[in-house]
Chain A
Amino acid sequence: MSRKLRTRSHRVVLNRSAGGDAGITFFLVIMGAFMFLPMLYAIMQSLKPLDELFMFPPRFYVRNPTFENYSDLFSLLNDAWVPFSRYIFNTVFITACGTLGNLLLGSMAAYALAKLKFPGRNFFFKMIVMSLMFHPTVNQVTHFILLSSVHWVDTYLAIIVPAMASTLGLYLMKQFMEQSVADTVLESARLDGASEFRTFWVIAMPMVKPAWLTLIIESFRSLWNTGASIYIHSEQLKTFNYAITQIVSGGIARSGAGAAATVVMMLVPIVVFVINQSKIIETMGTSGMKD
C-alpha cells in the first residue's frame, strides 16, 4: 500500500515542461505562505513580551522571545472560577471515552458491513454515506430535544455518546477493511472454529491498524475541538477549548495569554497527526466512493 513515489530519473521520462514546474512551484509557495504564515504568526505572538504585542507598526518576528505569556495563561486559568485542571480533565475525558467508544462500535460495525453478507447491509451503508452528506449541526435542535428526553443535557453523555456513533470513522474503516483484509484469511479462521467476534478481534483488527489510527484521529480532532456546546451549561463540565475561547475573546488585556492558549490548543492535534501521518494517508487511499 504505502508505495514510495519513484523519482523520474529512470525508465520512461514523463513530459514535464520547465514552465509548468516553475508555475507549480510559484503556486505552491504562494499557497504555502497563505497557509503557514498565520500559523507562524500565532506562535510568534505567543512569544512576544507585552511591549512587542502593542508596537506600531507591528513586527512579524519576535525580538525578545519570552515564555511570560504561557505563565500568564497558567495563572489566569488557575484564578478562574473553575480550576484549570478541571477544563483539561473534561476535554481529556470526553475525548478518550468518545474516541474509544467510536473505535469499538465503529470498527465492529465496519467489519460486519465489509465482511459479512447479511440482508440490509447495503441499506445500512447507504444510510451512513447519506449521513456524510449533511452537516450534523442541522440536527441540533431536535438533537437537543432527544437528549433532554433522556435527561442527558448537561452531562458528559450528551457529548460522548453521539460521538461514538460518528460515521466518518466507520466509513473509512469499512472501506479499508474491504480492501486490506482477505476473505480467505477470515475463512480459515472460521474453519478453525473461531467465533465471528473472535475472528474480528484477533484476525481482522490487527490487520487494519492504520485505519484505527485514522478513526482515532478523526474522532480525536472533533472532540478535542469541542467548544461551547448548547448541551452543556455547567461551568464544571465545559471543555478546555471553551476556556481558551473565553480567554482569547477577553480583549486587549489578555492578548498575550490568549495567543499562548491558541498555541497550546493547536499543538496537541498537530503532534498527534505528525506521529501518525503515514498511517492516515494509507487509510485514505481506500476512502473512495463507488457511485
Chain B
Amino acid sequence: MQEHDTSWVRTEMALAQQAPAGVRGPGAWVRKNLIGSVGDAILTIIGIALVVMILPQVINWAFLNAQWTGIDRTFCATVAQGGIQPDGWSGACWAFVNAKFGQFMFGRYPIEERWRPILVAILFVALLVPLLIPKVPRKGLNAILFFLAMPILAFILLVGGMFGLPHVETPLWGGLLVTLSLSFVGIAASLPIGIVLALGRRSKMPIVKTLCVVFIETVRGIPLITVLFMASVMLPLFLPAGVTFDKLLRALIGVSLFAAAYMAEVVRGGLQAIPKGQYEGADSLGLGYWQKMGLIVLPQALKLVIPGIVNTFIGMFKDTSLVYIIGMFDLLGVVKLNFSDANWATPQTARSGLIFAAFVFWLFCFGMSRYSMFTERRLDTGHKR
C-alpha cells in the first residue's frame, strides 16, 4: 500500500501580484486622469492651452522681467515713459515694494520707534506658536499670557506715553500693524460677544431673546461699510459734546460688533447640535445655568463649530481692509496711498503693490484655513461613524 498524502498546507502568504501593466505607471496615470475619454482629452487640451497662455506670462512678469532693485520710478518705466527699461517691457516693480516695505508694515509709525511694533510681533509669534502646537505643554499659562498679558504689554508698547516711552498717536499707525491689531482685537472681542448673543438668542426670556434676534439679523443684513459709516459719523453724534473717540477705537468697535453677529450664528449652530440629553443631564446634576453652559454645553458646541469660527475669523481678517473707506490706512490702504507717490508712478506700480498686498493677505488666510483643517481632524473624537 502506498500512502498518498495529497493535502498540502501553504505556510507562507501568497504575495499580491503586481497590477497589470495597463493600470500602473505614469502612462496609465495619464490615460486615466488626462485622456480617459474624448471629452476628457478635449478638456485636457483646453487646460494645457490655458496654462501655457497664463503661466509663462505670470512667471515672466513676476520673476524674470521683474525689477528687484531701484530708487525711483525710472527703474520701472520704459524709455518712452522716461525710464531705463526697453520699450514694451512689462515686469513687476518689486523695487517699489522694497522701497516702501517699512511703510507697508508700520504706516507712518516713527522710524526710531519701530522697534516697538517689531518687539510686539516677536512676542506675538513667540506666544502664538506654542499655543498652536498641540504637543507643547502648559497650555493654560500660555493662553493667559497670550490673551491677557500680551494685549496689555502690546498696548503699552504700541501706544506709549508711559514708562518713558513717547506717545504714538493712532493716526500714525498703518499698514500690516493696523490690519493685525484690528483683527486680533476683533477676534478676541467677537468670540465672547458672539457666544453671549447666541446664548441670548436661545434663552427662554422673551425680551432678551427678541433683542438678540433683532441685533443679529439687522447686523447680518447690512454691509460692513454701513456699520463703519455709523461708527465714524454717527457715534460722535451719540456722545455728549466734547467727548471724542479715537478713530481706530471706533473702527474696532464697529468691526467687533459686526463679527460678533456672524459669530453668534455660528455658535448657535453648535448649540443646536448638542443633544437635549446633555442639557438635561447637566440639570439633573444640579448645575446652574452658567455652570451647565460653561462646563457641559459650550465645550462640546464650540468644538463642533471650529471650522465655522475660523471661517468667520478669515472673513473678518479680510474685512479689516474696509477701514480704508473711512480713511484709515491698513495694509491695503497704505499700498493704495503709495500709488499717488509721483516718485514711483509707473504703469507697473499699482499691479506690483496690489499683488504684494494680496500675497500677504493670502498667506494669513490660507494659513488659518489649513490650521483649522488640522484642528478639525485632531479634535474629531467620537463623532465619526
Q: Answer yes or no: are A and B bound together in one complex.
A: no
Q: Name B residues whose Cβ lies closer than 8 Å to a Cβ of A.
A: none
Q: Name A residues whose Cβ lies closer than 8 Å to a Cβ of B.
A: none
